[in-house]
Structures are given as structure tokens and as C-alpha cells.
Amino acid sequence: MGLFSYLSSSASTILILALLFIFKGVKGTTFTFVNKCDYTVWPGILSSAGSPNLDSTGFELTKGTSRTFQAPTGWSGRFWGRTSCEFDDSGHGTCATGDCGSGQIECNGAGAAPPATLAEFTLGSGSQDFYDVSLVDGYNLPMVVEGSGGSGTCATTGCLTDLNLRCPTELKVGDGAACRSACEAFGTPEYCCSGAYSTPSTCRPSVYSQVFKSACPKSYSYAYDDATSTFTCTDADYTVTFCQTSPR
């Protein structure tokens, strides 16, 4: 191979690698929402301050369907599922659990009213994505997060168990549509990790958070449950599944 041909080949390789790098940066991360529940779920999406909105802030996801969104590198925010929603033909209405208070299918920058199972993400922070499934604000339906195509630990996390079936009576919402956290139910500092209980050494797992942790060992069960509940992955896409019976 001549020198010119070698240089041309090397330049082409560099150009291709550069284009792939740029494309990945533009592409960002793909989130796919899948509904395996026996009922319709209305996912809500809340971007953190400083992060752009995705293509939707709330939508309808009927049984057995999926929907995909793109998120840019550096995006952070949370997802959840709303249940037993009633919307009219103009898209106005409310949901029995996880309602965001917008009065519409789109949440328009509003978060979930507890109790609600939350999936939380920070993309590309120090080249890694950080993610978790949190029950700190209570629980309303099973949710699992799985990464694909990434490098690192990239563990599957979430809650496969229907906690509504084992929710302590004093935490139940209505006829068992959702399960409140002890903080929401009682509002005391020891359950809310506030006041004199605002540090990891003073706010310890309660009998109620241990019920959540026993059922869903990879999910956040209370405010300082970081060690076994936060996961990382690099350059992955993610699937958020409602009511998945077992990880793929």
C-alpha cells in the first residue's frame, strides 16, 4: 500500500470514528416504555431543572403496547405510571394514583402525587448514567428498569412484587390501589429523615421501609438506602416496564 493510500485509509477511519462519536452524542439515550399490566397505564415524565423536556410529559400506554423517546446526554429526570385515569375527549381528567395535578394527559412539568413508584435517571454524569427505582414516595405499581447495549455493571433494578397486596393496613390507600410511605402516612421526623433524623447515622430503616426492602431488595426503601439501590451504566439505552413478572 502506498503512503498516500495509507494516509487516505487512516483519515477515513478517523473520520468514521469521529462521525460515530458525534452521532452518539446527538442520539443520546433511548428510553422505551412497555406496559405488561392487565390495564392501561398513563406514564408521566418530569425533567429536572435545567434538563429539556422530552417529546412528551405524559401519555397513554394501553395494555401490551410500548413507546420510545430520545433523551440527550446529561438529561436527568424521573418516570412513573398513573393508574385508573379518566380523561375526556379533550384530554382533561384525573388519575386515581400517580396523578400529576395538571388535569391533562400531559403533566406539563408537574410531578407525581405520592404514593407512586418512581424511576430516576441522570445520564452521562462523569461519563456514567446513574439510575434507580424509588419507593421513598410510596408505591402504586410494579416497575422494572433494564439497560441494554451499555458497558459496566448495568444491573436490572426495580420492583417486580405487587406491594399493594402486602401493604400494611395503616399505609393502604383506599381499597388498596396504592401503598403510602411511612413518611407520608405519619409525617414524623424519624420516618421522613428530617430534623434530628436528617443524617444516615440517625435515620435508620424502619419496620415499614423493611417491608418495602424485603419485597423489592434493589429499590430505594427510604431516604438513605443508597448502597443497594443506585446503579450505573455507560452509553446504554433503557427499557422501563410496568408489571413485568420477571427480568428478561
Structure confidence at residue 127 (pLDDT): 85
pTM of the model: 0.87
Torsion sign, CA atoms 145, 149, 155, 156: positive
CA distance 212 to 210: 5
Q: What is the pLDDT of residues 226-238, one digit of tens each?
A: 889 999 999 999 9
Structure confidence at residue 126 (pLDDT): 72
Classified as helix, coil or strand, 121 is strand
Q: Which of 118, 126, 213, 228 is nearest to 166 (CA)?
A: 213
Structure confidence at residue 248 (pLDDT): 45
Category of 217 on φ-ψ map: left (φ > 0), alpha (ψ -120 to 50) or beta = alpha
Q: What is the pLDDT of residues 74-129, one digit of tens each?
A: 999 999 999 999 999 998 999 999 999 999 999 999 999 999 999 999 999 778 99
Give me the average pLDDT of each 10-residue run along the chain (248 residues): 46 40 60 98 97 96 98 96 96 96 97 98 90 97 96 94 95 95 97 96 96 96 93 96 75
Indicate the CATH number of 28-242 among 2.60.110.10, 3.40.640.10, 3.40.190.10, 3.90.950.10.
Answer: 2.60.110.10
Query: Can you give the residue ranges of every domain in the chain?
Result: 28-242
Structure confidence at residue 11 (pLDDT): 47
Q: Which residues contact 65 (CB under 8 A, 6 or more apart)?
A: 34, 35
Q: Which amino acid is at 24?
A: K
Q: What is the CA radius of gyration of the chain?
A: 21
